[in-house]
Structure 1
Amino acid sequence: MSVMPSMGPGPSEGFTTAPTSDLEEIHNWNELLHFFNHTLPECEMELDENTKRVVLFVLYLAIFVVGLVENILVICVNWRCSGQAGLLSLYILNMAVADLGIVLSLPVWMLEVTLDYTWLWGNFFCRFTHYFYFTNMYSSIFFLVCLSVDRYVTLTNSSPSWQRHQHKVRRAVCAGVWVLSAIIPLPEVVHIQLVESSEPMCLFLAPFETYSTWALAVALSSTVLGFLLPFPLIAVFNVLIACRLQKAGWPEGRRHCLLVCAYVAVFVICWLPYHVTLLLLTLHGTHVSLHCYLTHLLYFFYDIIDCFSMLHCVVNPILYNFLSPSFRGRLLNAVVHYLPKVQAREGRHASSSSSSTQHSIVITKEDMQPTAAGHPNLNFQAPNTSSIPAPRTLQPAEADSSRLHQ
C-alpha cells in the first residue's frame, strides 16, 4: 500500500491504518513513512528535511501575516460600505471570509511543521481543524466561480425579472455554497484520527481493507470539485467577459482583458501543481508506477506545493479588491472616517480647500455612474443610485456599461 498525502495541509491524513501494537513502536514521522511505504522503491536521495521545515515555516508565516491583513481590510471595507457597494461585492465579501478562515488555520500547520508533525491539540481539534480548513477552501473556490458567472450575467442580462430578483438569488447562492462546502469534506474528516504514540500524530486512517478505494475517492473528489469543475467555468466566463468588453469598445479594454486573464492564471498556478501531485501520489503503487527519484521528490515537495496553493488567500484580495479604484476609494474613506477627530479638524483648518476637493474625488469614485467614456469597473461595484441623474439615450457601449452597475 502506497502513502497517499491528503488534500489538506501537511502530511497528516495520508496513511493507511495499521495494528495498534505496531503503531505504538513508531516514534517519529520518518519511521511512520517507512512503515507504511511498502511500494516506495529503495534509492538514495539526500533531501534535507530540516531545511524543508524552515522553508515551510517561513512560507506559512508570510502567508498568514499578509493574508490576515489583506482579508480583514477587505471584509471591513465591504461590510462598512455594504449599503452602497456593488451588488457582486456579496461574493467578494464571502470569498474574503473563506480566505480569512484558511489564513486563521495556518498557525496550527506552522506549529505542526516545527514539531516534526507532532499533534498536540487532542482528537477533537485534529478533526475540527482539518474540517474548518476544507470547508473554507471549497468555499473560496466556489465563490470565485459564482463571481465569474454572475459578472457575465450582470454584463449581458438586462431583463426586469433579473433586476428584481438578483438580490435574493445572490443571497441564496451564497447560503448554498456554504452548505455545500460544509458537506463535501465529511467523508474524509470522519476518517481523520489522532494516533496516540510517543509522538501523537493527526492522520487519515481509512479501513485497511478499503484504503485504496477511500484514498482514490478522496483524491478524485478533491480534484474534480476543487479544480476540474471550477476551472472551466472560471476560464470560460472570464474569457466571455473579456470578449464582451472589447466588443463594447470600453476604454482601457486591453488592461482589463489582461486583468481577466490574471484571474484565470492565478487559479491555475495555485491549484494545478497541487492536484497533479495529489493524483500522482494517490495512484502510485496501485494504478501507476512512478520512477524512484520522482516518487521521492513528490513526497518531499508535497507539503511545499500544498503550502504554495494557499497563496490564493494573498492574491485574491489584490486582484478582486485592491486593484479596483472603487475599492481603494472606499478604503480611503474608511481610513479617513476612523482618524482621530482632532487630527481631522487640524487637517481641515490647514488646507480646507484641498481637503474638500480630495474628499469630493473619493465620493465621486464611489457614487458616480460611469459612462462608456469613463473608467470601467471590472469589480462591478454598484453606485449609490440616489446620485444618478435622469436616464438618457445610451449608445451600445454605454448600455453595456450601465448594466454592470445596476
Structure 2
Amino acid sequence: MSATPGPSLAPGRDLGEIYNWSELLHFFNHTLPECHVELNEDTKRVALFVTYLAIFVVGLVENLLVICANWRGPAGAGPLRLYVLNMAIADLGIVLSLPVWMLEVTLDYTWLWGSFSCRFAHYFYYANMYSSVFLLACLSVDRYLTLARAAAPGQRRRQRARRAVCAAVWVLAALIPLPEVAHIRLVESFEPMCLFMAPFETYSAWAVAVALSTTVLGFLLPLPLIAVFNVLAARRLRQAAQPEARRHCVLLGAYVAVFVVCWLPYHLTLLLLTLHGAHISLHCHLARLLYFFYDVIDCFSMLHCVLNPILYNFLSPGFRGRLLHAVVRYLPKARASEGRQASSAASSSSTQHSIIITKEGSPPPAARPHRHPSLSFQAAPTPPASAPPSPAS
C-alpha cells in the first residue's frame, strides 16, 4: 500500500516468470545489514489488524454521517460546505480500502486478490489520499478569503469557482498516482505479493522519484498553505475581537497540528527508507526499526480519516443540526415536527463544519444565541455606515 521501495524486477524477465530472487536477496542484504534487534512480527500484525479495524469502523460511520448531513442538509448551510463534503468522500474512499490492507497484514503480506486488484487497490488509495490533502489545503485558503471579504458580492460566482476547484482537485489526484501504479506488480513466486517493481537497473532512481513526489505533493506543498492561511485566519479573528475568537484560534491551530502529526512521521520515514543504502547510510538498528515500524506509521497516518470529521463537522452545532435535519426524514411523522424544531434551533446557532462563515452577501440576524466554543465563525452584523467594517464581515 505504500511507496516504500520493494524488491525490484530482474531485467529481461516476463511478468509470468519467476523473478531472479537471488538478485533481490542480494539487494536487501546490501540495504539491510545484519544486526540483532528483538522485534515481534506477530505482535505487530495483531496490533495493526486491531488498529485498522478500529479506524475502518469509526471512520466509516463518521464520514457517512458527514456525507449524509452535508448532502441532504438544507441549502445555504455555509459557503465552504462543498469542500467538507468532498473531503468526507475522499476520506471515505481511504476507509473503504482499509480491509484490503488489514487482511494483507494478517496474511503476512500475501496478496490473494489477483493482479488487477493489486494495482487498483493502490491507485484507489492514493487518489483519495491526494484528494483529501488537496481539498484540505483549498479549504484553508478559501476559509481565509471568505473571512477577509465576507461582505463582497458574487456569492454564486464564488460557488461556481469552488465547484471548479473541487473538480480540478479530483482530476489532479486521479493523475498523480499513475506513474507509481504503472510499476506495481503481482509477484507470484513463493507467495503472491503486491510490490513496487521498477526495472532493476533504475530501481533506485525510480524509488527516489516516487518517494520525493509523494512527499512533495502530499505534504511539503500543502503544509505551507494549510499553516499560513490558518494563521492568517486566526489573526483576522483576533482583530475582530469576537468573544469566541481565542477558542476559534485554538481550533485553527488544531487543524494544522493534526495534519502535521498524521503525515510528518509517514513522509519522513518514507524518505529515510528510500534514501537508505544508495544515498545515505543509516545506523543498522535505526534502519531495522524504521522498516519494522513503517507499517505502523503508515497505519497511524490514516487517523486523519477519523479526526477530520470531528474537527470539521462534529464539533459544530450547525453540523449537528443538519445531521438531525437529515435523520428526521426517516422518522415517523409524529416525531418529525419535533425534530425539525430542534434542527431549526441548532441551525440558527451555527452553520458550517468547524469554522464557518455564514455571511456571503447577506448579513446574519442581529441577535445570536451563545455559540458553541468549538467552531462556528459567523460574520459580525453589518456595522453602521459611520463605523469601520468588521474584519469578519
The answer on 1:295 being equivalent to 2:291 is no
Deviation at 1:396, TM superposition (A): 6.4
Identify the residue that residue 320 of structure 1 maps to in structure 2: 312
Q: Distance in 1 between matches of 2:320 and 2:386?
A: 29
The answer on 1:273 being equivalent to 2:286 is no
The answer on 1:94 being equivalent to 2:77 is no
TM-score w.r.t. structure 2 length?
0.87
Q: 2:242 aligns with which of 235, 239, 250?
A: 250
Contact 1:24–1:198, Cα closer than 8 Å, also in 2: no
Which secondary structure does the structure 2 equivalent of 1:119 belong to?
A: coil
The answer on 1:362 being equivalent to 2:354 is no
Q: 1:114 aligns with which of 106, 110, 114?
A: 106
* Aligned pairs for 1:50-199 within 5 A: 50-81=42-73, 83-158=75-150, 160=152, 162-199=154-191
Q: Distance in 2 between matches of 1:121 and 1:306?
A: 21
Contact 1:372–1:398, Cα closer than 8 Å, also in 2: no
The more displaced of 14-23 and 260-269 is 14-23
After superposing on structure 2, the runs of 4+ consecutive aligned residues of structure 1 that deviate more than 4 Å are: 19-22, 31-35, 158-162, 355-360, 370-374, 376-382, 394-398
- Please, which runs of 5 or more residues in structure 2 have no aligned partner? 352-357, 359-363
The code of the aligned residue for 1:364 comes to: S
Deviation at 1:35, TM superposition (A): 6.2
Counting aligned pairs with the same residue, the percent is: 67
Contact 2:49–2:105, Cα closer than 8 Å, also in 1: yes
Task: Rate the CA distance shift 1:22–1:40 in 2: closer, same or farther, 3 A.
Answer: farther
Deviation at 1:196, TM superposition (A): 1.0
Contact 2:55–2:302, Cα closer than 8 Å, also in 1: yes
Identify the residue that residue 393 of structure 1 maps to in structure 2: 384
Task: Rate the CA distance shift 1:282–1:394 in 2: closer, same or farther, 3 A.
Answer: farther
Deviation at 1:84, TM superposition (A): 2.6
Task: Rate the CA distance shift 1:36–1:371 in 2: closer, same or farther, 3 A.
Answer: farther
The more displaced of 153-162 and 125-134 is 153-162
The code of the aligned residue for 1:75 comes to: I
Q: Deviations over 1:58-86 (max 9, x none)?
A: 11000000000000000000000152321
Contact 1:72–1:100, Cα closer than 8 Å, also in 2: yes
Which secondary structure does the structure 2 equivalent of 1:15 belong to?
A: coil
Deviation at 1:340, TM superposition (A): 2.8
Which secondary structure does the structure 1 equivalent of 2:277 belong to?
A: coil
Task: Rate the CA distance shift 1:396–1:199 in 2: closer, same or farther, 3 A.
Answer: farther
Identify the residue that residue 304 of structure 1 maps to in structure 2: 296
The answer on 1:209 being equivalent to 2:201 is yes
Q: Distance in 1 between matches of 2:386 and 2:289?
A: 58
Q: Distance in 2 between matches of 1:68 and 1:394?
A: 49
Deviation at 1:278, TM superposition (A): 0.5
Deviation at 1:323, TM superposition (A): 0.7
Deviation at 1:164, TM superposition (A): 4.7
Identify the residue that residue 49 of structure 1 maps to in structure 2: 41
- Please, which runs of 5 or more residues in structure 1 have no aligned partner? 383-388
Task: Rate the CA distance shift 1:378–1:169 in 2: closer, same or farther, 3 A.
Answer: farther
Deviation at 1:125, TM superposition (A): 0.6
The answer on 1:333 being equivalent to 2:329 is no
Deviation at 1:38, TM superposition (A): 2.0
Q: Deviations over 1:354-396 (max 9, x none)?
A: x8974552353368936597648845689xxxxxx9x773786
Identify the residue that residue 361 of structure 2 maps to in structure 1: none
Identify the residue that residue 386 of structure 1 maps to in structure 2: none
Which secondary structure does the structure 1 equivalent of 2:185 belong to?
A: strand
Would you say how many aligned residue pairs link Structure 1 and Structure 2?
A: 375
Q: Distance in 1 between matches of 2:63 and 2:70?
A: 10
The code of the aligned residue for 1:6 comes to: S
Give the CA RMSD over aligned residues: 2.9
Q: Distance in 1 between matches of 2:79 and 2:27?
A: 54
Contact 1:324–1:379, Cα closer than 8 Å, also in 2: yes
Q: Distance in 2 between matches of 1:58 and 1:232?
A: 34
Q: Distance in 1 between matches of 2:121 and 2:97?
A: 7
Q: Deviations over 1:65-121 (max 9, x none)?
A: 000000000000000015232111000000000000000000000110111101011
Contact 2:325–2:340, Cα closer than 8 Å, also in 1: no
The code of the aligned residue for 2:45 comes to: R
The answer on 1:200 being equivalent to 2:192 is yes
Task: Rate the CA distance shift 1:372–1:395 in 2: closer, same or farther, 3 A.
Answer: farther
Contact 2:131–2:173, Cα closer than 8 Å, also in 1: yes
Q: Distance in 2 between matches of 1:96 and 1:17?
A: 37
TM-score w.r.t. structure 1 length?
0.84
Q: Distance in 1 between matches of 2:324 and 2:262?
A: 30
Task: Rate the CA distance shift 1:100–1:316 in 2: closer, same or farther, 3 A.
Answer: same
Task: Rate the CA distance shift 1:72–1:158 in 2: closer, same or farther, 3 A.
Answer: closer
Deviation at 1:23, TM superposition (A): 3.7
Which secondary structure does the structure 2 equivalent of 1:203 belong to?
A: strand
